[in-house]
Amino acid sequence: MKKIYLLLGILLLLILAFGIYQYTNPKVQESITYFPIDPNVTFKTAQTTLTLMNQQAKTILWKEHSTLDRTAYLRQDAALLYANGRLLETLWNWQQNTAVLEQEKRIKLAKSMLLQAITFHHAELHEKEDQIYSSQAMSSDQIHFITADADEVNIKKQLDEQTERMLQLSWNKGLRHFAINLKNYQAFPLSQFNELAKDALPGFTKSETDAIVGNLWEGLYKNYILGIKKADGTSENPKGSTLPLILIATDKTHLLVLTETASGEPILLRQMIG
């Protein structure tokens, strides 16, 4: 019996020690969390590239790279690749105590496609014990992948028009489904939104824009990249979903993210501004 009590005592001590360690050394959150932007911290590089590797093998190299001007407590990059307006692949990476992140993936394609890659680069900075700041940047690239030696100019035009038509039909379907009056919003496809937000969104200051962008990508990561949150509480894989339309209310109170799942279900995410 003494041996049993001794073993139980050792086990309890180990559990207590582990609990204390977990409390004093909390697990790093593998997600994007927006904190106020530190204006003194910058990204030296933030790049996304799509490169044709082999025309005959129908292979594209998708790559993203970012370098902060200092080591960060946590670095995170989230990358999305759309083919003809629908999500084809995602890349996500995080590392502690580093300034640099790199990701790449080789993609094999079966047919001609308009490829659009979008990346959000994020850093979490713990420069003071009681204060946490962020730094962020965005990058993108686009390429027309053509499978045959044909009239490339004409094929590119067709791909652009087909993609635009599909997205417009999808977004209009969502606007009708959720009874959204477009007159009350500024509307930007996510690809265009990211480009505009590098400076300042129409009607917003740069600092306001930074907060909108950071909070948007926090929401996109948790409610879109990890799985599209549906009204019934279930989640669906985002692959095959349409390029999101970002709707910013003209009264500056909120924004909406409108997309459609691969199965054709309209999805609306809402986020308050300020």
Domain ranges in the chain?
A: 43-145, 152-272
- pLDDT-based confidence at 130, cuts 50/70/90? confident
Residue found under tokens 């979490």: 124
Q: What is the CA radius of gyration of the chain?
A: 22
The structure's pTM equals: 0.87
197, pLDDT greater than 80: yes
As a whole number of angstroms, the distance between CA 152 and CA 154 comes to: 5
Query: Between 2.60.40.10, 3.40.50.300, 3.40.109.10, 3.40.50.620, what CATH number should domain 43-145 receive?
Result: 2.60.40.10
CA-to-CA separations, 93 to 52, 155, 178, in angstroms, rounded: 23, 34, 34
Q: What are 239-259's pLDDT values in tens digits?
A: 999 999 999 999 999 999 999
Closest alpha carbon to 111 in 158, 161, 148, 150:
148
Q: What are 144-164's pLDDT values in tens digits?
A: 999 877 688 899 999 999 999
